[in-house]
A and B are shown apart, each in its own frame.
Chain A
C-alpha cells in the first residue's frame, strides 16, 4: 500500500515560556525558565508551591466571554493554540474540503478544575444534587476537539487521545496515520492541559512526582542533574497543522518539516515507575525509526521526555544508548522541560513544535539548570547543557512516556522534494 507523505504547515503554542510560537521559540533558544510561585490557588499548605503557569493570558481576547464561561481552562488554551496554528497555516476555510479535515487533541486529564470545583460545591451542600448543566461538557477530555471543530467547521475524524503524558504524541501519530491512509487531508492536532489546581498539585505530590525546590523554582526542573528531585508541573497547549504533502503543495503552503514516523509501545511493567532498563522506551524509538524507514544514524537530535525525575531520566538515557549505540555520542540530546516544566498531555505537542523549530532554525534548544554531573550518565553524551547549540539537523526524534507505561515517539525530518 502506498502511504501518503505528511507535512507540518502550521504551528500554535500557548506555553509557560511564551504565548505564541515566536515567543516560545525565543525563550527556548535563550534558555528561559517558566517556573514561578503558583498563582492559580493558595498553595501555602502544599509540599510544592510553584509551577510553570501560562502568564498574562487574556482569554476574552480570543473567545467571547459567554462562550469562554462554558469552557474549562484546558479547552480555552487548546482553542487559542488552534487559532494561531490555523492562521499560521494560511488555511482558507472556504477552499478546503472540511469533510476531509479533522481534529485530534490529546489531554491527559481534561477539565480538572471544573471537576474539582463542582464536586467540592456539591460536597459542601446539604446533599441536594444541584449540578451545573455545563459541568460534564466542561470536564470531559474530548470537549476541546469538539469546540475546535465547531469553531472551524472541521467535519472529519474528531476525538481526544488519553495516554497521560504521551497523549499529544498519540494524537499526532493518529492524525499522521489517517492522512497517510488517505482517510483525511488535514488535521489540527496536538494537546492541551491545565491541571495546576489543588487536586492536581496535591495528587502529584502524593505520588512524590514533583520537585519541592520551593526556594528556587526557576532551577527546579533540572533533567540529568545529580540533584534533580522531580518534575515541575506545567500547563498550556500546542497545536500542529498536519497536511497531506500534495494538498499542501497544491495550495502553496509553507512547510515546516515532514512527519516521517511514529512509534507506540507499552512498558507492561508498573503504573507509574518506568521500566528500569527503559525497555518500552527503547522499543518505541526503534518502532518510530522502522516506521520512518530510517537508521539511528539518520537522527541528529533527540528531544527527550526527560522530566527531571530521579528514575525516569536514567531509564530514558539507557534506552537511547541501546537504540543509538555509538551514534548516541554524535547526536544532541536535550530536555526542553527544563524550561517549560511538564505539560503532561500537552507535552508531546509543544516538544514536537520545539523539535520542528530546531530543525528549521538549525539550533538545539538547551537543557538548562545543569549544575552537577551525575555519574549515572555517560559523560560522552551531549546533553546540550545550559546553552543552545548551533547544528544542522536532518531529523529529530521526540519522546513522550506516560503513567500507565505508555510510550510514543515521533520523527520529524527536514523537508526535501
Chain B
C-alpha cells in the first residue's frame, strides 16, 4: 500500500470511527462506512490538510469511496 493510501485509511478510521478492516477500496463513505454528508465534507477537508492541496467542489463530489479518494490523491499530490 502506498504511503498516501495508508494516510487516507488512517484519517477515515479516525474520523468515522470504523475498523481498519472495513476500509476497503470499494467501501463507500456513506453506504458502507456510516458517513453522513457532513462527515464526507470533513473527510475531504482532512485530506486537504494532510496533503496540503485544495480539492475543488466539483471534484470532491466525485470522491465517494476509499479507492476514489486514494486515486485522486495519488494523481494530484505533488
User: A-side interface residues toward B, CB under 8 Å?
Assistant: 64-66, 69, 128, 130, 132-134, 137
Contact = CB atoms under 8 A, between A and B. Distances in A.
Q: Which 6 A-B pairs have the closest CB atoms?
A: A66-B17, A133-B41, A133-B38, A133-B42, A65-B17, A132-B42
A133 B15 CA distance: 12
Contact of B49 (A64, A65, A130, A133): A130
A64 B18 CA distance: 12
Interface in B31-53: 34, 38, 41-42, 45, 48-49
B73 interface: no
B63 interface: no
Given A65-B17, A132-B45, 11 more contacts: A69-B15, A128-B54, A130-B45, A130-B48, A130-B49, A132-B42, A133-B38, A133-B41, A133-B42, A133-B45, A134-B42
Q: Is the interface of A mostly helix, strand, loop or mixed?
A: loop
Contacts of B34: 66
Mostly helix, strand, loop or mixed at chain B's interface?
helix
A128 B49 CA distance: 11
13 contacts: A64-B17, A65-B17, A66-B16, A69-B15, A130-B45, A130-B48, A130-B49, A132-B45, A133-B38, A133-B45, A134-B38, A134-B42, A137-B38
A122 B15 CA distance: 20
Contacts of B42: 132-134
Contacts of B54: 128
A246 B42 CA distance: 47
A130 B49 CA distance: 9
A222 B61 CA distance: 58
Contacts of B17: 64-66, 69
Contacts of B45: 130, 132-133
A274 B35 CA distance: 49
A134 B41 CA distance: 9
A60 to B, nearest CB: 10
A132 B15 CA distance: 12
A65 B49 CA distance: 22
A88 to B, nearest CB: 29
Nearest to A131: B45
A193 B45 CA distance: 29
A134 to B, nearest CB: 6
A81 to B, nearest CB: 24
A222 B42 CA distance: 46
Interface string B5-32: 0000000000111000000000000000
